[in-house]
Amino acid sequence: MGSAEPVPGVDELAARLMTALPAGPVVLVGHSQSCQVVAAAAIDPRVTGIVLCGPTTDPRMRRFRVLAWRWLRTAVAEPWWQVPLVLRQWLRTGPRAMTALWRTAAPDRIDARLHGLRVPVVVVRGTRDALCPADWAQQVTAAATHGRLVELPGAAHMTVQTHPRDVAAVVRSL
């Protein structure tokens, strides 16, 4: 997010990520829709674990009305100081690129990608995150052979920015 350029498919983005990885071992961290890319790249043998912060491709959100309602519920749950940062990023990206990003990521089945992965998978969600509700986070976690769910009390969707120490502790645990 942050670029108005056309959005490649999840597999293309994962291939680009794998090309850029160091010799390893590495732990990959994804946030929101980038969780799709991290899950797709986790097949690389250098990857020793993945952290998925607020995966957002719950199939119930494919209808725009549902997505908009959940986005609004989550936006008002974020700390006030987070709003200008997110708005600036969305305005720079623009509605067409945002829509293209959603169309690229939404149909991708993260649960299918996680099934059979041999690396630990940690799903992190804020307890106030309507974009990644508890039942969806549990479903994503259960899809991984070595899945674990971590819920951050009082956090909403932007956990990487609002709760960096907690997220860093999860990453360090891998």
In a domain, 3, yes or no: no
In a domain, 5, yes or no: no
- pLDDT tens by residue, 71-129: 777 776 776 777 777 677 767 766 777 677 777 777 788 989 999 899 999 999 999 99
CATH no. for residue 25? Answer: 3.40.50.1820
Let me know: does 160 contact 86? Beta carbons within 8 Å.
no
In a domain, 69, yes or no: yes
Domain containing 128 equals 10-173
- In three-state form (DSSP H/G/I as H, E/B as E, the rest C), the secondary structure along the chain is CCCCCCCCCHHHHHHHHHHHCCCCCEEEEEECCHHHHHHHHCCCCCEEEEEEECCCCCHHHCCHHHHHHHHHHHHCCCCCCHHHHHHHHHHHHCHHHHHHHHHHHCCCCHHHHHCCCCCCEEEEEECCCCCCCHHHHHHHHHHCCCEEEEEECCCCCCHHHHCHHHHHHHHHHC
- pLDDT tens by residue, 44-64: 999 999 999 999 888 887 777
Looking at the structure of the chain, the number of domains it has is 1
In a domain, 1, yes or no: no
In a domain, 168, yes or no: yes
The model's pTM = 0.85
In a domain, 138, yes or no: yes
